[in-house]
Amino acid sequence: MKYYSTNSKNKFFSFEQAVMKGLADDGGLFMPEFIPSLPKEFFANIESKSVTEIAIEVSKQFIEDEIPQTKLEEIITEAINFPAPVVELEKNLFVLELFHGPTLAFKDFGARFMAKTMGYFAQKENSHLNILVATSGDTGSAVANGFYNTPGINVYILYPKGKVSKIQEQQLTTLDKNITALEIDGTFDDCQRLVKSAFVDSELTSKLNLSSANSINIARLLPQSFYYMEAYKQIPDKSLPVVFSVPSGNLGNITAGLLAKKMGLPIHKFVGATNKNDVFTEFIQSGNFNPRASVQTLSNAMDVGNPGNLARIVDLYSSSIEDIRNDIYSATFNDEQTREAIKEVYKKSNYVIDPHGAVGYLALQKFLKENPNQEFTSIVLETAHPAKFKDVVEEELSIEVEIPERLATCLTKEKRAVELSFDYNSLKEFLLSF
C-alpha cells in the first residue's frame, strides 16, 4: 500500500514515510492509494471477533509488511486495551461510549496506536523525532499520555489559552520528561495554522525532524475506523439501516467512519453534528467551503473553523458534493440547545451525556424527524466522559458527576506550560532554541 498527498497524486510514499512525516511537503494530507475492501465473511462473522482481532485485520490492509505481524499485534494489544461499549438509550437508539481509555476521550484510540507505531519506526531507524500537535481539548491529553516517556520522541502540544476546560488543561500540562505544553494566545485554528506552517518551513525542517500527531496524521486516523466496526458488532438487530451521528470538529472522526464504510461496513448514513462552528454543515448544505475564525462553545473539541480533514473527505468522493451528501447529513446547534439536550437525554433515558454527545444527539434527532417513514438503528458517538465537563453537566442536571480516579489525580498536579503568541516566529524561535 502506497500513500499520496491530497495536493498531488503524482508522488507516492510508504506507510512509514506518511506516518513519520505527518503532513506532505506540499501541505497536503496523506491518503492511501486505494481503500481496500474487506471480505463479506469478515462482517458476517464480526460478532465472533474481539476489538483486537478487528483492529489487526483492518490495520494489515493499510500497513501490509511494513510492520511485522507479531509486532503489529503487540502494538494493537497494548494500545487498545479498553472497551468501546454500545449502550441502549431506547429502542433502536444507542450511544457508543468512546471514553474508557486512559484520558477518558475517543482520542485514546488513535493517539495510543500512533504513539506505539511511531515509536517502533523511530527505534528501527534509530532516529529522533519532534512531534507538533494542535489541540482544542482532548487530543492534547491523549497524545501526551500516549507518547509519554517514549524514547527518541519529544512532543510539543499547542493549545488555545483559556479555550479548553480546566480538567482538559490539567491533563495536558501536568506531564514532564518528553512532553511540553505550549499555551498559545489564540484559537485552535491558530494552533493548527502554526503546526502546518512549521511543516512547510524548510529552514526549520532542515534542522528538526518534525511530525504531527493530529488527525491529519494517517496513523491517528486509521485506528478510529476500528470502533465503528466494534459498534456494528454489538448492534443486536442488524436488519435495519445503520446511522452514526458524529460530533464533528476537525473531521477526523467522521473521515475514519467513511473509511470503514468504504471498506465494506454496512453504514447507511453519517450525521455530521456541529456546534456554532458550522463550517462543515454549511459545506454539506451549500457545497461551499468558507473557513473562518472559530468561536468558543461548550463542546470545545469541536471548535474548529477550518477543518483539516475536509480535504480527505473531498478526495474520497472525487470532489463530488452530491456523492458526499448521499453519505453525510449535517446539522448545527448552539450552546443553549446543547444544554437542553443534556437534560432531555437524562430525563428520557437516565443517561448522563457530555456536551459533544449532546450535539450528536440533537443532529440525529433532526435527521430522524426529516426521515419519518423509515426505521433506523441509530448510534451517537459519545466522545468524552461527562466528568471532563463537570460544571456544565452538574449545572444542568443538579446531580454530582463523579470524577474517575485517573482524571482526579491530574487535578492535584502543578501546571507546566510555556506561553507563546499566535505569531509563527515565536513558535519557530522556541523550537530552534532546542
Active-site entry in 107, 161, 261, 366: 107
Q: What percent of the chain has pLDDT over 90?
A: 82
Average pLDDT over residues 322-336: 98
Q: CA 255 to CA 248: how far, in whole Å? A: 10
pLDDT tens digits, one per residue of 214-266 = 778 999 999 999 999 999 999 998 999 999 999 999 999 999 999 999 999 99
Note the pTM of the prediction, 2 decimals: 0.90
pLDDT tens digits, one per residue of 348-390 = 999 999 999 999 999 999 999 999 999 999 999 999 999 989 9
pLDDT tens digits, one per residue of 289-302 = 999 999 999 998 89
pLDDT recorded at residue 150 = 86
Q: How far apart are the first and last CA of the chain?
A: 36
Residue 9 annotated as catalytic:
no
pLDDT category, 166, cuts 50, 70, 90? confident
- Which residues pair with residue 159 across a beta bridge? 183
pLDDT at 152 over 90: no
pLDDT recorded at residue 47 = 96
pLDDT at 28 over 90: yes
CB distance 173 to 142 below 8 Å: no
pLDDT recorded at residue 303 = 92
Average pLDDT over residues 65-73: 96
Q: CA 359 to CA 297: how far, in whole Å? A: 11
CB distance 159 to 324 below 8 Å: no
Average pLDDT over residues 146-161: 91
Residues 6+ apart with CB under 8 A from 363: 245, 271, 272, 273, 274, 329, 330, 331, 332, 333
Q: CA 301 to CA 303: how far, in whole Å? A: 6
pLDDT category, 74, cuts 50, 70, 90? very high
pLDDT category, 54, cuts 50, 70, 90? very high
Q: What percent of the chain has pLDDT over 70?
A: 100
Q: How far is CA 361 from the centre of its chain?
A: 18
pLDDT at 212 over 90: no
pLDDT recorded at residue 385 = 94
pLDDT at 22 over 90: no
Mean pLDDT of the chain: 94
**What single-letter DSSP state applies at residue 251?**
S
Least confident of 52-61, 141-150, 288-297, 317-326: 141-150
pLDDT recorded at residue 307 = 95
pLDDT category, 165, cuts 50, 70, 90? confident
Least confident of 202-211, 271-280, 319-328: 202-211
Q: Which domains does the chain have, with CATH numbers?
A: 82-105+223-402 (3.40.50.1100)
pLDDT recorded at residue 77 = 96
Average pLDDT over residues 85-108: 95
Element housing 382 (H / E): strand 377-382
